[in-house]
Chains A and B, each alone.
Chain A
């Protein structure tokens, strides 16, 4: 897949070719996305992540936004609708049934679908993940919920070795249409073993699709796409986002609404600086963009949505427009998502950069418990604003990190 991208986005000339190729009819229609079935095998999957240079926010003439929804309700409705539409979908995990979900994401599902499709498990992550993977080999579509992705470390053997690698190892014979979902990353005051961000770890693994929604629309669309997807998907939610409310349009509320996997969204247009973020940090970046706009810096904020496949096309196109990049994430810096984005931009858009790229990451320590230390360990609004100004005013060699 990487090879395909390089062919597509290798320089201005091939860029144009790709744009023309996309526009000439290989762009997926809404129907293709909602069919849920396997796409035509001859059509390379990559072309579905078509590069479109003009990502304008919905025009004023689009249907009026109606309704608000919390991220929790978005996830709940997505699972609900997919389970109703396809009886092969079931959900398995700790406290998903009688307790209504450890974070109430699966509220009401037991009552609606019964204990045969909403399965409470003992505390055996390795066991029930393996059971989920095995059932996916034979055509069922499990949704495996982890209470947090930290607990998934007890099951990571099955996520990587049994789920991610099987389609390859079996020569394409066995599909694994499974979704692993749960909260990821830092919450509030839950200390080192509950606060790790796993986006970089799972994003490094070929065979997995890794998604990280930000708002209710992302949550709904991406989870529905993930459940319909024939490949293993790691769906990284965020505990602190569950209760956040967002406005949603009628289109989002439609039961056949899905979002493409592998496509980032430009949440805010800008001309001076590109910021990339995923999950909770998107909100912080948008706030930072508001603040920076007052000082005359126009920031383009990209909501990655998909960690793997990473939408390098959108990111590179944006950097080519603004010439500066700031990557933001909550996870650890070394080998992080930001590191991969920086490498990609240096590889593909080096001549366009006017300043060294900056990464804003969580502190390179296990998450401390003390409240003031925890605040220092996670990127805050001020950190992002400061870094953005640094990237904009500086065009000389960046000093070595402390």
Chain B
């Protein structure tokens, strides 16, 4: 797909020159959308570290004197404090990407051995998007995904053991074995699913963003600043729900980031065959929000763009649409024969494996040694093996679990544990549901 860099004519870009970079930033010229942000391409002095609770994730150490893409492509040997990312952060991202890759490879093995069943959709090749975006989020932030959600769950912090047990259909899984591969949920980690129908997760994420806004404005909770991130694919961008949510999110200035994982194929349907305007980022400005196109095989670029979008949302300036051009190395699912994709195209993207690219960057910039990276690889192998063992040894759900969890209030008629009607209980509106 041609990376078209047309910037919206009516809108001033914040970038200086560099027309061949793969980053384009489009911001609305309307005053109310004017951002105090510093997108790539500007000359920025080292800003102060944002005092995010515990992690150093939001720190931008170093001067950015050129666009991130040129930095990464040219891979200059610069001093550590000139780089976009600190050592800790880059190792965290590297570890997350390796975890995603190893986990998915193990899923394929387990599927062919019959331990996993049904529909399994693997994320190989797209790790840069998940790690680039989700590692910037806090635990309270929300993520929704599609059926290709294993790695989003892992990046968000759901333990690999729980995800693997869920895939095996065991009662120790993150959804007690009731959800499965396509329906990963975790209240603790803010993972809101895991949806089988594409497009379904977008309104849900928009609603989660609305919760934040509601908490601030109605419930007067100033500390509510959870950002919501919705992940979905290129096929989803033709679905009505996508457009409806873009409209409402921009209208109500919801703290949400829409991340499109454009891997160019929706099962066997090529993106250009299905879409009248293939540049998805252009659909953001149509609804009044910035639309950004970024190279999704490069985790550092994704990270920079995502950082800005998330901070924008947290400040209350509204949504952003990020289109990550990426690729899935495997078929749509493990049942997909994957006959329609051109082998040359697959080879082209396989050569741009995000993990190898990051590894190269790390080594060339002396952020870590080969031995340290190998140690991380080994550690991840152990984590995944442990996850499989845990899942294997976990028990299947018991018969009685079949009828559990249909309702939060199982009696269904508002009858309290004492057998009387809840609505007659003076404490009813305080929430008396006991399961």
9-residue interface stretch from A1-9, A121-129, A165-173, A338-346: A121-129
9-residue interface stretch from A91-99, A280-288, A313-321: A91-99
A256 vs chain B, min Cβ distance (A): 34
Q: Considering only CB atoms, which chain A residue lies closest to B403 in the complex? A: A365
Q: Considering only CB atoms, which chain B residue lies closest to A191 in the complex? A: B180
Inter-chain contact B397/A191, CB cutoff 8 Å: no
Among A314-348, those with CB < 8 Å from B are none
Let me know if A193 is at the binding interface, CB within 8 A: yes
Inter-chain contact B396/A372, CB cutoff 8 Å: yes
The complex places the Cα of A366 from the Cα of B182 at a distance, in Å, of 14
A123-B274 CB under 8 A given contacts A94-B269, A188-B117:
yes
Inter-chain contact B199/A123, CB cutoff 8 Å: yes
Inter-chain contact A368/B178, CB cutoff 8 Å: yes
Inter-chain contact A193/B268, CB cutoff 8 Å: no
- Residues of A near B76 (CB, < 8 A) are none
9-residue interface stretch from B137-145, B235-243, B322-330, B373-381: B235-243
Of B180, B181, B406, chain A has the most CB atoms within 10 Å of the CB of: B180
Inter-chain contact B239/A369, CB cutoff 8 Å: no
Let me know if A192 is at the binding interface, CB within 8 A: yes
Let me know if A371 is at the binding interface, CB within 8 A: yes
- Residues of B near A190 (CB, < 8 A) are 118-119, 180, 182
The complex places the Cα of A207 from the Cα of B369 at a distance, in Å, of 70
Let me know if A194 is at the binding interface, CB within 8 A: yes
Let me know if B8 is at the binding interface, CB within 8 A: no
A124 vs chain B, min Cβ distance (A): 5
Interface of chain A, helix or strand or loop or mixed?
A: loop
A189-B180 CB under 8 A given contacts A363-B403, A376-B402:
yes
Among B212-264, those with CB < 8 Å from A are 235-236, 238-240
- Per-position binary interface string of chain A over residues 296-309, scored 1 when its CB falls under 8 Å from any chain B CB and 0 otherwise: 00000000000000
- Residues of B near A191 (CB, < 8 A) are 118, 179-183, 196
A145 vs chain B, min Cβ distance (A): 13
A373-B177 CB under 8 A given contacts A123-B199, A127-B240, A363-B402:
yes
The complex places the Cα of A366 from the Cα of B407 at a distance, in Å, of 11
Inter-chain contact A369/B178, CB cutoff 8 Å: yes
Of A102, A153, A187, A373, chain B has the most CB atoms within 10 Å of the CB of: A373
The complex places the Cα of A98 from the Cα of B182 at a distance, in Å, of 26
A377-B402 CB under 8 A given contacts A126-B240, A194-B196:
yes
Inter-chain contact B199/A369, CB cutoff 8 Å: no
Inter-chain contact B239/A124, CB cutoff 8 Å: yes
A95-B268 CB under 8 A given contacts A191-B182, A370-B396:
yes
Top 4 closest A-B pairs, CB basis? Answer: A369-B180, A189-B118, A99-B268, A370-B169
